[in-house]
Amino acid sequence: MSHTLTSDQLAFYEKEGYLHIPKAVSEETLLLAEKVLGSWADSVIDEWISQGLLENDHRGDPFQTRMLHAWRSAGKPKYSRSPRRDLVGADMYTMLRSPELLGIAADLLGTSEISVHGVFNGRARLPDQKWTSTPWHQDAQYFKEAEFIHVPTFWFPLQDVDQSSSCLEVQPRFHHDGLQEDYDDPESGFLGLTPELSSKLSGTPIEMKRGDVLCFTQRTPHRALPNEREFVRWSMDFRYEATATATGSALGFVARSADPAKETQLKEWLAKWSDRAPGTY
């Protein structure tokens, strides 16, 4: 099996619980992400127009600011903060099977037999929104069957991000301690860590460039910092796992195999979502 990551990178990931990889996501994948999320934004804005909240669809605005301008013009209505079902389609299937991401996944998981986990998200992080602010949490709090099964998360922004534009913060080395107590955050509605534990975390902010990817384990605490800038912080997060021990296969799929006949075809994956209504999950 050819390798994408160095032995030093793999050792860092194992010890620290995360790895920031510069220039890992191809421009082709990033443009496809913009297409998928832009189509979702179209549907959200069209819904605001149908509700009488908005007249101008702002289609002439740049991708990075269009949804922000429309949202403010519509009176700042709530919207799906982690769309998933509405992103499912041929473009998402292609993106989840991006060779560069599967190569990294193979190195982190130690196998060329890779499956996409059923939990993936697109995120539109606008300024001044507490309810889209993800608090300190561990991803495996949302899929506890993977507490002891390695399911690395791949998070990548569609623009440069820093501490003023909602980059992520991670807590190094904490992944060795297992899952912590759940807490329903009343401010955001997200599942997270208790206030007592969260107050003890120092956190390492990970500033990133367009094309970078941040990988971390399913037990690594992380959160998104506030967006204080006048644009949408667009990002996507995927999860991969070894096919032999896959836990998210109900809505996931086999993305890479030494035997191509075992790889899930687009039609098969779409069929898994056929009974889920738009706007759900």
Report domain extents, the chain: 7-272
Residue 25, pLDDT above cutoff 80: yes
Average the pLDDT over each of 46-55, 116-125, 186-195 and give the range with the smallest value: 186-195
Nearest by Cα to 136 from 19, 225, 250, 265? 225
- Distance CA(160)–CA(162), nearest Å, equals 7
Nearest by Cα to 19 from 29, 34, 9, 32? 9
Cβ–Cβ < 8 Å for 179, 146: no
Nearest by Cα to 211 from 169, 164, 160, 166? 160
pLDDT digits (tens, 9 = 90+) for 159-189: 999 999 999 999 999 999 989 999 998 888 8
Cβ atoms < 10 Å from Cβ of 89:
15
Q: What pLDDT shows up at residue 225? A: 95
Cβ–Cβ < 8 Å for 115, 253: yes
pLDDT digits (tens, 9 = 90+) for 106-163: 999 999 999 999 999 999 999 988 888 889 999 999 999 999 999 999 999 999 999 9
Cβ–Cβ < 8 Å for 219, 147: yes
Q: What pLDDT shows up at residue 226? A: 94
Q: What pLDDT shows up at residue 22? A: 97
> Mean of the pLDDT values across residues 41-63?
96
- Distance CA(158)–CA(233), nearest Å, equals 8
Q: Which residues pair with 254 in a beta bridge?
A: 115
Tokens of 244: 């032999």
Q: Which residues pair with 206 in a beta bridge?
A: 168
pTM of the model: 0.96
| 226: DSSP letter | P
- Distance CA(243)–CA(255), nearest Å, equals 9
- Distance CA(270)–CA(158), nearest Å, equals 25
Answer whether CATH 3.80.10.10 is correct for domain 7-272: no
SS3 239: strand
- In percent, the amount of the chain with pLDDT more than 70 equals 99
Tokens of 102: 């599967």
